[in-house]
Chains A and B, each alone.
Chain A
């Protein structure tokens, strides 16, 4: 079940997420290249004090600074929902 969107820097470590919104700009282009787009399932691998986030998509790990993470909206998903993808 999808919950209300939250900014990525508030996601809990280990949670499974779906990307709801990435703000326009160069960071978004760079994220598309890396395979992180709206609707994509990811996992929050680490959330550092201060809000720097490490996300995981398949075998890939990406670090995102807090100022960018704050602007990315995500929603929690269950493992089953993710498996359906």
Chain B
């Protein structure tokens, strides 16, 4: 039975059916009434996705959770509909991810709870909460191989008896025990609630609709309380402590530590958060990423895909076809296959430049995530990021920014507060050059000498810190403190990493690609209407007298508004003094983000914030560039 069963039973006219779902707000369970919906729930890094992949096979549907930007995945297994959820430590709405998991659980017929058996103390809190919610639960103990290696023993039968739900032992990496998942789904049942709590939840049924919702209201969940028009309860603390105590009692009886050993992975994890060993490890990790993304993909692969596939094969071919019907000098021809053509340039850019880079970056990210390194990196840099109003978790969008600022802006969603999202996305838009731009910048700086490189790097770094510090000072509120669980270091599973990379790349392209087309159309339109030249003329005085650059440099700033590397690339053709190169590159780096990241920022942060930042980049870029110019030239 679903939780909104009362409305399910009523006879509904077709439009009422739609109304019903609108009222509920979400319909993750699908429409097929004969299917039982299963929520796959667990703490982060428990190998949940391996179970999901095993169960759902090919029939997977990835989408944004209605009304949120959180992705979730649905699949089918026999007569079950499996819904994957973001990893959480408990059910409530502390984060957006948690709220999504909460709603999926509320709607599910049963819950398959995956537990990291080597972390029972942590994971059983969620299990006990699911049981307290009155959901039908089956527990899967994963990583049983690690439990053995750690010298631990778990009495599964006793655990199952204490929880009142079936418990199965598996090792996801070797798929040992996967044959029991079927049994788990069929045997899932309500577990042992505290009798007093059960009684209380029942007395609230008329208000809350289900025991699960009654519990969440008592625990002060704002979202659920609001849905039922009641004020949130104040008993989170006492219920949590009761639950924690019950879990501790269970663990004392089922977990036996025999000859506990420290594994190499544990040591490696410790080294990663020790400054003496951790900083060399960061350098090593960054160097490996540089070799892979910066050298192999950004240079070798993209060289082939962009120049050969894009410029030499795709563009002439499509231009040949289009110009059979449309004159290349007509406005339509220019819009479609001209310099900024929607079909020629934009497709090359998206498919042959951006896509390989995005895949490479997401692959690196997935490897760092699945190995357990990322949270440790966040820990190590936490204090430094505090200075600019962020905490360690912001390291993810900041690193991704050097790949693609648009992609990084999307990941600022992960951050704990609106304030941090604002700061991180502003820093990204102001002072982080994306890989496309970096490639051009590096080539130009190499020609201008070491001094030029040094001045460029220092200036950008100063602006980076200044933007963060200023926003940190002027924005109300304070930085949320870092509080993260450090998962064990593990060797990443290739299939899982590949799947993650594929999903994310697909999602990013789906989200960002339309904006690249819009941007190209806008500039194409400016070119056709002659606005582009007007624009260039307007910028001229700023370029020649203030920045002391040649007249033609103003064109690069116009291009820079479309694509960051365009702007920089335009400088190749100008003969500039080394000092002029530095000024031009600093200005173009600090100048407006590309049109796609502006659009994405509008969507993520609202148009007001996006346009403020966009206008701010004009001021900062020309101010810093001008000052530098007057010092250097």
A interface with B by C-beta (< 8 Å):
24, 26-35, 37, 45-46, 48-52, 54, 57-69
Contacts and interface: CB of A to CB of B under 8 A. Distances in A.
A65 B485 contact: no
A11 B119 CA distance: 25
The 6 closest A-B pairs by CB, nearest first: A50-B383, A65-B482, A68-B481, A65-B481, A63-B379, A61-B486
B275 A48 contact: yes
B270 interface: yes
Interface string B380-408: 10111010000110000000000000000
Contacts of A24: 237
Given A29-B240, A34-B122, A49 B483 contact: no
A27 B483 contact: yes
B551 to A, nearest CB: 49
Contact of B89 (A30, A63, A64): A30
Interface residues of B, dominant DSSP: helix
30 contacts: A29-B92, A29-B237, A30-B90, A31-B483, A32-B125, A32-B240, A33-B240, A33-B244, A34-B89, A35-B244, A37-B241, A45-B270, A48-B379, A48-B382, A49-B275, A50-B382, A52-B382, A52-B383, A54-B486, A59-B118, A59-B119, A59-B488, A60-B119, A61-B485, A62-B485, A62-B486, A63-B376, A65-B391, A65-B392, A67-B481
Contact of B483 (A50, A58, A68): A68
B121 interface: yes
B203 interface: no
B223 to A, nearest CB: 15
A60 B486 CA distance: 7
Nearest to A61: B486
B383 A64 contact: no
Contacts of B248: 35
A64 B485 CA distance: 9
B95 to A, nearest CB: 10
Nearest to B257: A58
Contacts of A49: 275, 383
A63 B392 contact: yes
Interface size class of B (residues with CB under 8 A): 35 or more
Given A35-B121, A54-B273, 19 more contacts: A29-B240, A33-B126, A33-B240, A34-B122, A35-B125, A46-B274, A50-B382, A50-B383, A50-B384, A52-B383, A54-B486, A59-B119, A59-B488, A61-B486, A63-B379, A63-B382, A63-B392, A67-B386, A67-B479
Contact of A65 (B125, B241, B386): B386
A64 B482 CA distance: 5
A41 to B, nearest CB: 12
A35 B249 CA distance: 12
B150 interface: yes
B483 A62 contact: yes
A61 B269 contact: yes
A60 B126 CA distance: 16
Contacts of B486: 54, 61-63
B378 interface: yes
Nearest to B152: A59
Interface string B257-286: 000000000000110011100000000000
Given A30-B94, A68-B481, A68-B482, A58 B237 contact: no
Interface in B46-101: 89-90, 92, 94
